[in-house]
Structure 1
Amino acid sequence: MKKVIYLIVFSLTFLSCKKETSNSNSNIKDDVKTNEFSIVIHGGAGFMKEDNFSPEKQKAYKKKLEEAIRVGYTILKDGGSSLDAVEKTINILEDSPLFNAGKGAVFTNEGTNEHDASIMDGKTLNAGASAGTKTVKNPINLARAIMEKSPHVMLAREGAETFAEDQGLTIVDPEYFFTEKRMKALERTKASENKKVTALYDATLKASKFGTVGCAALDKHGNLAAGTSTGGMTNKRWGRIGDSPIIGAGTYANNNTCAVSSTGWGEYFIRGMVAYDISALMAYKNLSLKEAAHEVIQNKLPSIDEGQGNGGIIAVDKNGNIAMEFNTSGMFRATMNDKGELYIGIFK
């Protein structure tokens, strides 16, 4: 009889210890459903001074951010997919001259507009991206078409434009993308350039890099998605491609962890594989989304090349938690959760 009692006590003790060990190795914050669905967007991060933004200008940016995120929120609220929410939300930002994407894209050194975009499905890990297109009105639509209707992940330039035409996407004359604001920015940048070609990335460029747009969302079905769209860097040359169309750098989504969209100095986001790294820290080190985002953006990224890794990310995890992390003075951003709570921010 004593042996039976000892056996029962030992079994209960073992099970209790095993349960405690299991709990200590899991991140409780990641196991709790915070929101049934949620969405977060960015309109670019950079070194922005509040003094340079009039109340009217701030109001214009906030109004467009709200318009965009409400489109995605409505899709999610009605039971739509995170992919649809991401694509349609980014369309609003691409059609606005306020942001460096689509209509508001910056100019290259040759005076052209070249667009990059990517999108990823957290359920299947399928992804699509386009780079260097000049005639596709909404690059994020092209990225999704590449993901869903081609055997490839990335298409570039003339080939990508031909594919876009074949898919019936809206094609426009390059003049559609012209804005006086972006042309003047190119002229200022050229005027400030060092005579040497190697000075492409000078202090002026560093101070003016913001405007890329992105979105991450969780839908009611538990699926994550993320997308990013950009016009790249003012005065870029030689067919330069940044992080926005690079899966794992500018965009990443995985239902097991999170969905991320990046914005900032693309070369460093590529070298740091920023979007994927946040997911990896969650998967392999069991960090929360907030912890992972902080580690990558505030510690890892600035350590590359003596603090040149500037920018930020927006992200949502599998339980609807949201992160908006940036190491610059500002990032255009907005969030909405399943309760309809809206947040919009510009400066730190």
Structure 2
Amino acid sequence: METIVELKNVTKTIKKRKIIDDISFKVEKGEVFGFLGPNGAGKTTTIRMIVGLMGITSGDITIGGASIKTQFEEAVSHVGAIVENPEMYKFMSGYENLVHYARMSKGITKEKIDETVELVGLTDRIHDKVKTYSLGMRQRLGLAQCLLHDPKVLILDEPTNGLDPAGIREIRDYLRLLAREKNMAVIVSSHLLSEMEMMCDRIGIIQNGRLIDVQLVHEFVQGTETVFEIEVTPADEAIAMLEGAFSGTAFKRSRNGITAELNKEDIPAIIKMLVECGLQIYGVKEVPKTLEDRFLEVTGEKEAPVHV
């Protein structure tokens, strides 16, 4: 894997308050990197610094080996980005918007515009005025704008915001395609954790301006503990019995029985105990954690300090 974006000890201070505190991470070519955090955690501020819309107090950001601080034009030439919402001229057609945007970069041909329009699925509507577009179509047109100059890095802040399920799936599929077929690095921030789980290869968790963790999605979701659900009645009696025998393990009521984080080796002993006490057992199954579950665990357990 080849690093295309690198943040090195990046800090942003506004009015003596650290908004971003010593963040460092790398993004590789061909991967979709998810940037997660609660509202106000610093996601958009970090993205604004990456694309040069906001200055860096200390540290540095390199894109394609070029520093945002000292080689700005070269660094941003590798980037296509939508920060918050794509902005277009609504009285013009989608195609006219792309032609106008293409004038800002050298060497963008009509063939390249047509290819990009087809890639984002706007061929049938590209000559209609933007004011007639749905939100999903405007998002796709914004994506087309980003891709015209063949960037090495695509940065999207909340790209699925306001889209219906079909539109969300389309954007997700486009981004996976770009990473795989074009070997492009894609950086995505979003609050839709289920979508990030399906879209991203790695995720970085930011909270109160500090980077808590960066991991592969499947490793992060898996975590270190396994949750099992035991379908048993009466559930309250089972919980009371098991908590006495397995001190330190929290057994909770679920819709079908009880759940707990357990080692697989403990399951036979638990079943034996419940059967011997006359409780009715209907099944035992592993409950896979979601990205949302792990996200809430991590941001709760590793509360980052607030800097004043």
Q: Which TM-score applies when normalising by structure 2?
A: 0.25
- The structure richer in strand per residue is 2
Which structure's CA Rg is the greater one?
2
**Structure whose residues are more often helix by fraction:** 1
